[in-house]
Amino acid sequence: MLSLRQIKNNPQILEFIKQSDSSTQALGYTEHGFRHGNNVSKEAQRIAKEMGFKEVEQELAGIAGFCHDMGNFFGGVLDIIIGARFYFIKFLLMIFLMKKFL
């Protein structure tokens, strides 16, 4: 399995985040780059831990949090506004369901 450390050191992923940040800033939004991704990653891991998820699930939540804005430069304004939140919530729901039924 990929680790959060590997994701954070992957040049392609870092470039996607960099481009997404540039795109959102060009549209007038606040920083959505590495600082933001790291903050969301830590928060996602904290929430997963509080919910009693296994360490591997906490790591996946951290990865999802770090990458949640990746690719915003492909979408429109609506995707930027609701897309990241939707996919993050969808990811947490998926982990919850996996935990419950697997």
Q: Where are the domains of the chain?
A: 4-101
Residue 69 — pLDDT band, cuts 50, 70, 90? confident
> Rounded CA gap, 40 and 94, in Å?
18
81 close to 50: Cβ distance less than 8 angstroms: no
53 close to 95: Cβ distance less than 8 angstroms: yes
What six digits make up the tokens of 18?
């960099």
76-101 average pLDDT score: 60
Whole-Å CA distances, 53 to 61, 91, 96: 10, 13, 8
pLDDT digits (tens, 9 = 90+) for 12-67: 889 888 988 888 888 788 888 999 999 999 999 999 999 999 999 999 999 989 98
2-12 average pLDDT score: 91
How many Cα atoms sit within 13 Å of 79 on the Cβ side? Answer: 12
